[in-house]
Amino acid sequence: MKIVTDPQELQRQCLVWRNAERTVGLVPTMGFLHAGHTALMDRMRPECDRMVVTLFVNPTQFGENEDLSNYPHDFEGDCAKAEAHGADLLFAPAPDAMYAPDHATWVEVPELGRHLCGASRPIHFRGVCTVVTKLFNLTRAHKAVFGQKDWQQLAILRRMARDLNMPVEIIGHPIVRESDGLALSSRNAYLTETERAAAPAIRRGLLNLRETVRAGQRNAGAARAALKEEYASTLPMGEVDYIEIVDPADIVPMEDISGPVLAAVAIRLGKARLIDNILIEV
């Protein structure tokens, strides 16, 4: 596995592969790799001839008072995991290699970013879209894979690629969970023992909401209220950022449930902000 820190070197290598008619696959990450990340690599590996894994804690997607300075790191461990799961190249740039001091160009899909995480993190998806566009330009990837835990991010990136005619196939991978149902996240490392023991209630609440809808509840407001009440009982130390039921493609909140919907939540537990979702077929 080759380790690259210079964007131009990454671009040169990927152009060599493309000119040799090799299929390039991209797995973007912010590092501190866990089983969710390695599942993305395992999903991509059969899809491509050359696999690029990126480790970059992108500063432009963090707002004020967020955890940029404290985001967990394990570069040596990440390198070992990426190599073990078939990465041909690991791209780990410094922030100033990706953003010039006078950087002034942004990519965003504002309509899909108004709700869910975008409501409380207003610059987040602008940063995500911009850095992913850079990675697509640098790698000329044929395919890229993203986890469905960040469903809104996945929907936004698919719309961005469609609207800007980016020649890349974006693959969504199902959420990878702990045995007790907690969605894997690098931010789980922030949880105290007590918070970690309580956190699986997030998933249980979503499963209960799904059963409520399947049993005939079609009023999204009532379903949201019931889940909020459940979390008040099962996660008393948690702070609800949002509980929403949205259209899975447009990320627009629904009032009447008449077709497939996405139930999505964000809960703050201590230092961690945890997100999860469930697709409900009606």
For domain 2-173, say whether CATH 3.40.50.620 is its number. Answer: yes
* Rounded distance between C-alpha atoms, residue 169 and residue 237, angstroms: 41
Quick one: pLDDT at residue 65?
A: 83
Q: Is 61 annotated for ligand binding?
A: yes
Residue 35 assigned to a binding site: yes
Which residues of the chain form CATH 3.40.50.620?
Answer: 2-173
Mean pLDDT per 10-residue segment, the chain (282 residues):
98 98 98 97 98 98 92 97 98 98 98 96 97 98 98 98 98 98 97 98 98 97 98 97 98 96 98 97 90
Question: What integer pLDDT is reported at residue 282 of this predicted model?
Answer: 87
- Is 148 annotated to bind a ligand? Reply is yes
The alpha carbon of residue 222 and the mean position of all alpha carbons in its chain are separated, in whole angstroms, by 28
Q: Where in the chain is the domain with CATH 3.30.1300.10?
A: 186-280
Catalytic-role residue among 37, 115, 142, 173: 37
152 is annotated as contributing to ligand binding:
no
H or E segment to which residue 277 belongs: strand 272-280
Instruction: Write the CA distances from 118 to 63, 71, 93, integer angstroms.
Output: 11, 20, 26
55 is in an annotated binding site: no
Dmax of the chain from CA atoms? 59
Note if 37 is an active site residue: yes
Q: Cα 197 to the chain's mean position, in Å?
A: 23
In the prediction, which pLDDT does 220 show? 98
Looking at domain 186-280, its CATH architecture is 2-Layer Sandwich (3.30)
